[in-house]
């Protein structure tokens, strides 16, 4: 599985979780995270991410989750 596919899976998980969340703040955060995962997927497909930058962003997103 490619990086972009994994990132899109994370985005989909965020959307699913946002539908289950009750608090408006949690819904908002999950939707924003989904958008960021999709942004990362697009950047990975375009070859714009460097491995170190990629890891730093992903680690930050996973800590937020």
Counting the structural domains of the chain, the total is 1
> How many residues are listed for the chain in this entry?
65
**pTM, full prediction:** 0.75
SS3 of residue 47 by DSSP: coil
Contact 62, 40 (CB under 8 A): no
Q: Which domain holds residue 38?
A: 3-64
Higher pLDDT: 12 or 1? It is 12
Evaluate if residue 63 carries a pLDDT over 80: no
Contact 54, 3 (CB under 8 A): yes
For residue 8, how far is the Cα from the chain centroid?
7
Evaluate if residue 47 carries a pLDDT over 90: no
Q: What is the pLDDT of residues 2-45, one digit of tens each?
A: 889 999 999 999 999 999 999 999 999 999 999 999 999 998 88
């Amino acid at each position: 599985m490619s990086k972009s596919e994994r990132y899109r899976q994370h985005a989909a998980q965020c959307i699913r979780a946002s539908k289950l969340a009750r608090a408006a703040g949690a819904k908002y955060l999950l939707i924003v995270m989904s958008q960021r995962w999709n942004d990362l997927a697009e950047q990975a497909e375009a070859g714009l991410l460097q491995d170190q930058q990629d890891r730093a962003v992903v680690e930050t997103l996973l800590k937020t989750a």
